[in-house]
Structure 1
Amino acid sequence: MNLTISVVLLAGIALAVVLRLKSATLTGAVIALLFGFYLADTDAAPTVNELVTAIADAVRGIGN
């Protein structure tokens, strides 16, 4: 029986563990970098980009 797990899923789980443990190490930074790198190569990248842009616009609008 073969089990296929996405690298993005594995990196996301590892990043969640690192954040949960509050481990600010070089390993944590590398995991975050890899997660972002692989996430950018998925179909979720445009949605994530739109979400970040919307949040930035909302924060920018709070001061006005």
Structure 2
Amino acid sequence: TRIIAFRAQQIAAGSPLFLKDDEIPEGVTDPVELAELELKLGRLPVKLVRRVLQREVVIDLDDLLG
């Protein structure tokens, strides 16, 4: 998804991870895998903003993932 790609790009550029060292499986260094792990563990502080009928609706990513 775009969210994973955007976060992976941030990680590749040196952004700090939202994971603890013991949460990262041994040998995993790929930014996409790390971004997916952050998403799976609910660590991405991402909110989507949608414009609906001239209003902004803010959707927390956790709400979308259930």
**Shared fold per TM-score greater than 0.5:** no
Task: Tell me the TM-score normalized by structure 1.
Answer: 0.25
Which structure carries more helix by proportion? 1
Task: Tell me the TM-score normalized by structure 2.
Answer: 0.24
Q: Which is bigger in relative contact order (C-alpha 8 A, separation at least 6)?
A: 1
Which structure carries more strand by proportion? 2
